[in-house]
């Protein structure tokens, strides 16, 4: 009787581990697909997402590949009952757990500094609106409109001097076209 129950528990654990890691594998593939779509179709947000060659979409792509590999090791290790694959899987999960905890602590401790860096970079980027780069201006207008936001912190950024720009084409309220609910084409 004990042997039968042990086999059922082992069988349940094996199936549970497989199903759980199959879901992780599918999520990894979904993240890869979303990142690929952002890279290929999300041109209007590229100005907000990237600085040079490093971007959020590329980060998502790398993250999706890592998640997919972890899911693969977990699925295949559970099916084959391979100690090598299961140890590899456990090692990767442990490293990811330690990295996640470390990054979370770092971000929590430095959240004000991080917010300042992001805010300063956005102020610099938004300061280029209306300049020679008409594509950047158009993309920032589209992004503000689609995300329902205006400026970096709020709409007053345009009139209080938070965002310094030489734009003479601001609308009557002192904001760019992208801040309006109905953008002019």
Spans of all domains in the chain: 1-81
pLDDT at 109: 92
pLDDT at 15: 84
Quote the distance between the C-alpha of residue 71 and its chain's center: 19
Mean pLDDT over residues 135-147, rounded?
78
Share of the chain above pLDDT 90, in %: 2
Residue carrying structure tokens 């759980």: 20
The phi-psi region of residue 166 (left if phi > 0; otherwise alpha if psi is between -120 and 50; otherwise beta) is: alpha
Each residue's pLDDT tens digit, 172-184: 556 777 777 665 5
Contacts of 129 (CB under 8 A, 6+ apart): 136, 137, 140, 141, 163, 165, 167, 176
DSSP 161: T
Asked which of 20-34, 78-92, 111-125, 145-159 is least confident by mean pLDDT, the reply is: 145-159
Contacts of 183 (CB under 8 A, 6+ apart): 141, 142, 145, 177
169 with 130: CB under 8 angstroms?
A: yes
Q: What integer best gives the mean pLDDT of the chain?
A: 77
pLDDT at 105: 93
Each residue's pLDDT tens digit, 82-136: 888 888 888 888 888 898 899 889 888 988 988 888 788 888 887 777 777 777 7
Is the pTM higher than 0.85? The answer reads no
CA distances, 149 to each of 72, 167, 181 (Å): 40, 19, 10
pLDDT: is 39 or 29 the higher one? Answer: 29
Tell which residue, 76, 64, 93, has the closest CA to residue 17. 76
């Amino acid at each position: 009787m004990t042997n039968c129950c042990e086999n059922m528990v082992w069988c349940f654990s094996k199936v549970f581990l497989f199903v759980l890691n199959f879901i992780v594998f599918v999520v990894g593939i979904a993240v890869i697909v979303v990142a690929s779509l952002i890279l290929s179709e999300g041109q209007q947000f590229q100005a907000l997402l990237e600085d040079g060659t490093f971007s959020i979409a590329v980060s998502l792509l790398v993250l999706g590949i890592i998640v997919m590999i972890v899911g693969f090791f977990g699925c295949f290790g559970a099916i084959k009952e391979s100690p090598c694959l299961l140890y590899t899987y456990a090692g990767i999960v442990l490293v990811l757990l330690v990295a996640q905890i470390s990054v979370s602590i770092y971000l929590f401790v430095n959240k004000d500094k991080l917010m300042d860096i992001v805010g300063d970079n956005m102020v610099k980027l938004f300061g280029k609106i209306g300049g020679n780069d008409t594509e950047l201006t158009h993309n920032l207008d589209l992004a503000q409109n689609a995300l329902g936001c205006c400026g970096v912190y709020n709409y007053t950024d345009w009139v209080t001097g938070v965002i310094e720009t030489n734009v003479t084409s601001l609308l009557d309220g002192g904001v760019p076209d992208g801040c309006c609910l109905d953008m002019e084409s």
